[in-house]
Each structure stands twice: as structure tokens, then as C-alpha cells.
């Protein structure tokens, strides 16, 4: 029964954002998570949708990503029952 495997008090939301770094795509992803964590709680995952780079004089000078970040949001009814 699918209802036994579903926690109805847990919802995930997905936010698409862009970030950049002068170091690497991995650092750009970390920058995205770090910045988002300043205002979001319970970040679950980050999916890198696109990556690109800025080139200047034949050298990569900036790594850019577009990411989808998933995070948990509280169910309003569950939040009220916890109070």
C-alpha cells in the first residue's frame, strides 16, 4: 500500500538558481548551496542542470552553473500540531 510508504508531513520544493566561481564548477555548486542555506532549511540535494564557463585570453576565468536545489518544507497542518 503506497500510503504506508508516504510521509504526508514531509514536502520537498525545488528551486532553480545560478552560481559562479573562479575556482571550479564544484566550487560554484558549493557556493549555490552555501548561499541558499542562509535562508533555506533542510536542503536535501543539488542537481546541476547546466554548466558553462567564461573564457578570457584563452583561459577560463569563471565557472558558472544552473542548479536545481531541493529542500524540505513543513506542512502547515503538521507545524500547527507541533506547537
**Is the model's pLDDT at 13 over the cut of 70?**
yes
Q: What is the pLDDT of residue 83?
A: 53
**Is the model's pLDDT at 24 over the cut of 70?**
yes
Q: What is the pLDDT of residues 47-74, one digit of tens each?
A: 999 999 999 999 999 999 999 999 998 7
User: Quick one: how far is CA 12 from the chain centroid?
Assistant: 11
Q: Calculate mean pLDDT across residues 21-43.
A: 95
What number of other Cβ atoms are within 10 A of residue 67's Cβ?
22
What number of other Cβ atoms are within 10 A of residue 12's Cβ?
11
| Cα dihedral: 76, 78, 79, 83 (round 10) | 140
User: Quick one: how far is CA 31 from the chain centroid?
Assistant: 10
| Mean per-residue pLDDT of the chain | 85
Q: What is the pLDDT of residue 48?
A: 97
Amino acid at each position: 500500500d503506497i500510503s504506508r510508504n508516504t510521509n504526508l508531513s514531509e514536502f520537498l520544493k525545488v528551486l532553480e538558481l545560478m552560481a559562479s566561481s573562479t575556482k571550479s564548477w564544484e566550487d560554484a555548486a558549493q557556493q549555490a548551496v552555501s548561499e541558499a542555506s542562509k535562508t533555506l532549511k533542510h536542503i536535501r540535494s543539488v542537481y546541476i542542470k547546466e554548466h558553462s564557463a567564461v573564457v578570457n585570453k584563452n583561459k577560463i576565468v569563471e565557472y558558472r552553473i544552473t542548479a536545481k536545489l531541493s529542500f524540505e518544507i513543513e506542512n502547515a497542518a503538521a507545524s500547527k500540531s507541533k506547537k
